[in-house]
Amino acid sequence: MEKYRSFHRKKLLVLATLYMIVIVGLCVRLGYVMIFEGEYYEEKAIELHERERSIKAARGKILDVNGEVLADNKTVCTISVIHSQLKDKEKVIQILHEELGIEKEILRKKVEKISAREKIASNVEKSIGDKIRNYDLDGVKVDEDFKRNYPYNTFASKVLGFTGGDNQGIIGLEVKYEAYLKGTNGMILTMTDAKGIELQEKGERRQEAVPGNNLRISIDKNIQMYAQQLAEKVRQKKNADRVEMIVMKPSNGEILAMVNVPEFNLNEPYTIDTDDVLYVAENEADQTQLLNKMWRNTCINDTYEPGSIFKVFTASAAFESHKVTFEDQFHCGGACVVEDRRIRCHKVGGHGSETFLDGLKNSCNPVFIQVGARLGVDDFYKYLNQFGLMKKTGIDLPGEAATIMHKEENVGAVELATMSFGQSFQVTPIQMATTVCTVINGGKRITPHFAVDVEDSNGKIIKEFCYSSKQVLSEDTSEKMRFGLEQVVENGGGNKGFIEGYRIGGKTATSQTLPRGSGKYISSFIGFAPADNPQVLAMVIIHKPEGMYYGGLIAAPVIKELFENILPYLGIEKTE
């Protein structure tokens, strides 16, 4: 019996010892947690009872070169409900239905959904948001937010671009300079009880949003507006598909205006203008295609056959390689036979005997075919590369297209002949404008651009943008070309661009659209002033005009009207 009792005492002692070890271990662990990990678990407990709401940062403004606001923000509201805090769901549904115009069944699904926070509507006008806030509905939250606002609607729409639902850039400068414009979001932290109900007495913690920086660009609001008006006027007058205009400084590549009409309303970027597209989308794929077409900046995203404006390049290359002078004699009989191809001049009867200067003024194809032959394929392509035509311009907009050119090894006499006067290849409008700037500014290849600097909300400059340039042409050739292109406007095919008292240089072009024989044309003119010291260059391209289509007759007058208005504005005075 005594042995049996001794066994049980030992058993109890072992169990007691084990219990003591467990208890001591728990005490040690509890003490360790309280002393060494207390802050960690306290933070976890707070996180469990904290509810986080985002404060969106105000996006930086886009300013024109004179500080005029082209893109800013307006205050809007986001309406949401917190399920655990709702006391009268039917009242909430009724009031939100009346104020927001949302169907009751849709509201009911959102209100009755069990979630920490359910968004009802965003981008609500502030006046409506304030009205809903004043009802003081339990469980209904009204948070102020920002929506991008464009004060001039269609102004430079395909350059500025627009933002999405989260205020992120979608196209244009908005997406290109997203990193500078976007800012940093803040947050509001509120405490809740175990049921998820906010504890008013605990207040809230806020981490304020940091607004984005402002972007100042080279566009001049007044020049852009006037250029858009002119482009739209000629588009309607000629019932053209579209019209593009570029106004820039030849010396440094700053773009004062870039127009693509029809433009679209930046404040309603997903609304398709059926008058312009002449089609109503029936499915999502069609809708996307039409929107992409509407948003497309054809000055940089699309290529076209430049026609006779490209003769500026051929002439420059010939002067640079000493293959021609203004006094060289040529003959135009109305056509030129190259191998088995008869290539006509625009003057059916021909120009007869003429100097190279006459050929430039007359925009004579046979003259430039002969000059192209003097250059030869090797030199022609040498200068294409030297002038930068085989590379993208590097403009600070997304989606720039590249030049579409024959491979050098595939170029024969016929291809060289057609290329010499601007046919059988394609370039972007910005590439053509940049190349002419190179020819007239002393031979310096510049980078076309918009961004000038980045400023903080106080107007302090925090970054200035710099752009590359390279000497690719001699000053002597540039001087000859300025003289020759001034003669084109004074006494040649560009005379409709002449302005009394101003020295204007320029070149016209008329090219066929593809496929050949369609009867559709592209009319264009590029001009600059003053001719002896170019301070501004402007280019207009009119796609598929009806009726008269020659660039010298319908495009040159557009640039003339533009210059008549902007030259005095830019401080360029008439000469005596």
Q: Which of 88-92, 307-311, 362-366 has the lowest mean pLDDT?
A: 88-92
In this predicted structure, the answer to whether residue 195 has a pLDDT above a threshold of 60 is no
Q: Which of 449-453, 456-460, 517-521 has the highest mean pLDDT?
A: 449-453
| Alpha-carbon span 168 to 146, nearest angstrom | 12
Q: Which of 171-175, 282-286, 534-538 has the lowest mean pLDDT?
A: 282-286
Please give the residue that has the higher pLDDT: either 344 or 52. 344
Backbone angles phi, psi at 228, to 5 degrees: -65, -40
Q: What is the pLDDT of residue 576?
A: 63
Please give the residue that has the higher pLDDT: either 42 or 541. 541
Percent of the chain with pLDDT over 70: 89
| Alpha-carbon span 145 to 315, nearest angstrom | 57
DSSP letters of 356-382? Answer: HHHHHHHT-HHHHHHHHHHHHHHHHHH
The pLDDT confidence band at residue 189, using thresholds 50, 70 and 90, is: low
Mean pLDDT of 388-397: 97
Give the chain's mean pLDDT.
89
3-state secondary structure 290-336: HHHHHHCCHHHHCCECCHHHHHHHHHHHHHHCCCCCCCCEEEECCEE
Q: What is the pLDDT of residue 542?
A: 98
Distances (CA, A) of 442 to 252, 432, 481, 532, 560: 12, 17, 10, 11, 24
Q: Is residue 375 within 8 Å of residue 280, measured between CB atoms?
A: no
Residue of 184, 67, 75 whose CA lies nearest to 124: 75
In this predicted structure, the answer to whether residue 196 has a pLDDT above a threshold of 60 is no
In this predicted structure, the answer to whether residue 452 has a pLDDT above a threshold of 70 is yes
The pLDDT confidence band at residue 46, using thresholds 50, 70 and 90, is: very low
Q: Is residue 197 within 8 Å of residue 85, measured between CB atoms?
A: yes
| Alpha-carbon span 162 to 175, nearest angstrom | 8
Q: What is the pLDDT of residue 139?
A: 86
- Which sign, positive or negative, has the C-alpha torsion 269, 274, 277, 280? positive
Q: Across-strand partners of 507? A: 526
Q: What is the pLDDT of residues 204-262, one digit of tens each?
A: 667 788 899 999 999 999 999 999 999 999 999 999 999 999 999 999 999 999 999 99
CA dihedral 284, 290, 291, 295 (to 10 degrees): 160
In this predicted structure, the answer to whether residue 198 has a pLDDT above a threshold of 80 is no
Provide the pairing of β-strand 186-191 with 204-207: antiparallel
Q: What is the pLDDT of residue 275?
A: 53
Q: What is the pLDDT of residues 250-297, one digit of tens each?
A: 999 999 999 999 999 999 999 887 554 444 445 666 888 899 999 999
In this predicted structure, the answer to whether residue 161 has a pLDDT above a threshold of 50 is yes
From the candidates 80, 157, 308, 363, which is the catalytic residue? 308
Q: Which domains does the chain have, with CATH numbers?
A: 51-217 (3.90.1310.10), 257-263+297-569 (3.40.710.10)
Please give the residue that has the higher pLDDT: either 369 or 9. 369
Mean pLDDT of 169-192: 87
Please give the residue that has the higher pLDDT: either 444 or 39. 444
Q: What is the pLDDT of residue 11?
A: 72
Q: What's the number of CA atoms in the CB half-sphere (13 Å) around residue 563?
A: 34
Query: Is 308 one of the annotated active-site residues of the chain?
Result: yes
In this predicted structure, the answer to whether residue 459 has a pLDDT above a threshold of 90 is no
Q: What is the pLDDT of residue 287?
A: 84
In this predicted structure, the answer to whether residue 131 has a pLDDT above a threshold of 60 is yes
Q: What is the pLDDT of residue 205?
A: 67
